[in-house]
Amino acid sequence: MAIDPRMKRMLVASDGSPFGAGAIRVGIAMAKQAGAELNAMTMVLTNPEYEAMAPELVQKAENEAVQHLEEIAATAAAEGVSCQPVLCHGSNPVEEIVNNAGELGVGMVIMGRRGKRGLARLMVGDATVKVIARAPCSVAVVPKAAEMWSKRILLCTDGSLHSEAARAATLTIAACCRAPVTVLTALVPRHSPERSEEGRRSMLRMTDELKRAGLEAEGHAIIGDAGPVIIDTAQRIGADLIVIGGFGRTGFGRALIGRNAEHVVGHATCVVVVAKPEPAA
């Protein structure tokens, strides 16, 4: 299997808090397995008024940020991973992460589930939700204690366009890490029989495609609401990576990301890759 060329460059975003430790650890491991260049980004939160009022505090924050990037680069170098520091200044971390992801042409943004600003949206930090929604590439969300996956990948599908992005991301990931894959579709009782059948067909098709690609794969259709079914299944089968589409059949709706994706990101104990369709040329 060929690796998506965009996956030869990744961006790990950290605010220097303990919540980003898992993202740094997994980001370095991902880059090592993919033979990718890692860009490590952190940010000095500031604005012109603050710089004028407290220049010594801004300098202190910048020194700490530089030290944090140096520590990431040293850890990456010890694993044989090339790591380029990206130091940003501004007041909007989401904008900086999204812009850098686009300018660098990365195939994956890796970040913690939450950051210094605490619980803005249940278990998921507000910045994380907004980066998932706006990033031009897939986003790996890493809980603080999560490790690089090695046991089993759980690929989730409902037959939508974003499920196809999850399928493509899983094939790319599997080119680097040949863990077995379980393909899951949730048969939501309130959905029409036609919609449930389309999800089932998608599951069978993806399972067959993974097998034809030389991967160990199995498929399951389980009755229940998608979010809880995904979390329960991941725990039951010992999956240490979940791959899910960012939205689903109903598109953006009223939320920044799909309700099921946010539920999974917020409740999973393992890495969750929220897959995005490749931007149109």
Tens-place pLDDT, residues 257-269: 678 888 899 999 9
Residues 163/247, Cβ–Cβ less than 8 Å: no
**Any idea what DSSP says for residue 279?**
P
Phi, psi of 81 (to 5 degrees): -105, 130
Band of residue 45 on the pLDDT scale cut at 50, 70, 90: confident
Is residue 65 pLDDT above 70, yes or no? yes
Strand partners, 8: none
Distance CA 203, CA 64 (A): 47
Does the pTM surpass 0.85? The reply is yes
Mean pLDDT to the nearest integer, 56-84: 95
Count CB atoms within 10 A of the CB of residue 91.
12
pLDDT digits (tens, 9 = 90+) for 165-200: 999 999 988 877 778 999 999 999 999 999 999 999
Is residue 157 pLDDT above 90, yes or no? yes
pLDDT value for 120: 43
Structural domains of the chain, ranges and CATH numbers in brackets: 5-142 (3.40.50.620), 153-275 (3.40.50.620)
Instruction: Give the residue among 246, 1, 3, 265 at the shortest CA–CA distance from 146.
Output: 265
Count CB atoms within 10 A of the CB of residue 45.
16
pLDDT digits (tens, 9 = 90+) for 212-262: 999 999 999 999 999 999 999 999 999 999 999 876 554 443 345 678 888
Residues 58/51, Cβ–Cβ less than 8 Å: yes
> Edge-to-edge strands of the sheet including 108-112?
83-90, 37-45, 9-13, 108-112, 138-142, 271-275, 241-245, 153-156, 181-187, 217-223
Distance CA 197, CA 218 (A): 18
Phi, psi of 198 (to 5 degrees): -65, -40
